[in-house]
Every structure is written in structure tokens, then in C-alpha cells.
């Protein structure tokens, strides 16, 4: 199993540009989520999905879109990049249910917006 994979590993954007961060998992997990990690702060949930076709907002969803057309993939779209979106982004997956199971994290994407 490759686990959770993310691409790209690094990205530099100019303000106003758009891009998609890719996330895939091969563990047949129903639950997938996106977090951002900023210095001195805990991971913050951006969006999550409990299964294909179902997504919901997390704590900091503004400026981001997601979709879940397959169980394996959960891309995160930045609509119009802003310097405040400079961060490290982590995708995670787990078995679903009424509670979030043990989460497996990807290696992260370090994004800089200038």
C-alpha cells in the first residue's frame, strides 16, 4: 500500500492564481480530510468527506473547494490564492463511522503565495 499520497510536495503561486492540490489513498477509507498547519497553531480542518459524493466544511473553508467523485481521490482547489493561504497542507484518511477512526496523513504540500 502506498497509503496517502499528495502532490505536489512544494508549490509557489502568485496572488490570484488558482491550483489544485492532489490527494489519493489506496486503503479504501471512506473518510478523507484536508488540514492546514501554520507555525504555533494546531492543524485546522478545511474540508472533509465521509464518502464519495459527500463533502462538508471544516473550521477554515473560505477560499477552498473540494469534491469527492471517487473513494480514492480528494482534491483541494484554491480558487484565487492569497498570501494568507501560505501554509503546509495535509490530507488524511481513515475508516468512517460516527467517529473519526485512526487517521493516516500524507506527507504534506508546502504552499507559498507571493
Partner 1 sequence: KNQVEQSPQSLIILEGKNCTLQCNYTVSPFSNLRWYKQDTGRGPVSLTIMTFSENTKSNGRYTATLDADTKQSSLHITASQLSDSASYICVVSVEYGNKLVFGAGTILRVKS
Contact yes or no for 89/112 (Cβ under 8 A)? no
Span from 11-19, 21-29, 69-77, 90-98 in contact with partner 1 (CB under 8 A):
90-98
2 binds partner 1 (CB under 8 A): no
99 part of the interface to partner 1, by CB under 8 A? yes
Distance of alpha carbon 19 from alpha carbon 94, whole angstroms: 25
Integer Cα distance of 103 and 43 in angstroms: 13
Tell me the CA end-to-end span of the chain in Å, nearest whole number: 36
What's the min distance (Å) between Cβ of 16 and partner 1? 28
Of the pair 3, 16, the CB lying nearest partner 1 is at 3
Q: Whole-angstrom Cα distance, residue 71 to residue 80?
A: 27
Q: Render 31-58 in DSSP notation, one character per residue.
A: EEEEEEE-TTS--EEEEEEEETTEEEE-
Other beta carbons within 10 angstroms of residue 105's beta carbon come to 16
Q: Which of 4, 23, 46, 113 binds partner 1 (CB under 8 A)?
A: 4
Report the residue number, 73 or 105, with the smaller CB distance to partner 1: 105
Site string for partner 1, 14-53 (x = CB under 8 A): -----------------x---x----xxxxxx--x-x---
Which residues make up the interface to partner 1 (CB under 8 A)?
Answer: 4, 31, 35, 40-45, 48, 50, 56, 90, 92, 96, 98-100, 102-108
Amino acid at each position: 500500500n502506498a497509503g496517502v499520497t499528495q502532490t505536489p510536495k512544494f508549490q509557489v503561486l502568485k496572488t490570484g492564481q488558482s491550483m489544485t492540490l492532489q490527494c489519493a489513498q489506496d486503503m479504501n477509507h471512506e473518510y478523507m480530510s484536508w488540514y492546514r498547519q501554520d507555525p504555533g497553531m494546531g492543524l485546522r480542518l478545511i474540508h472533509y468527506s465521509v464518502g464519495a459524493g459527500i463533502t462538508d466544511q471544516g473550521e477554515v473553508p473560505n477560499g477552498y473547494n473540494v469534491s469527492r467523485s471517487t473513494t480514492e481521490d480528494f482534491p483541494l482547489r484554491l480558487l484565487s490564492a492569497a498570501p494568507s493561504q501560505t501554509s503546509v497542507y495535509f490530507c488524511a484518511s481513515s475508516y468512517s463511522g460516527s467517529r473519526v477512526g485512526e487517521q493516516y496523513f500524507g506527507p504534506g504540500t508546502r504552499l507559498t503565495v507571493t
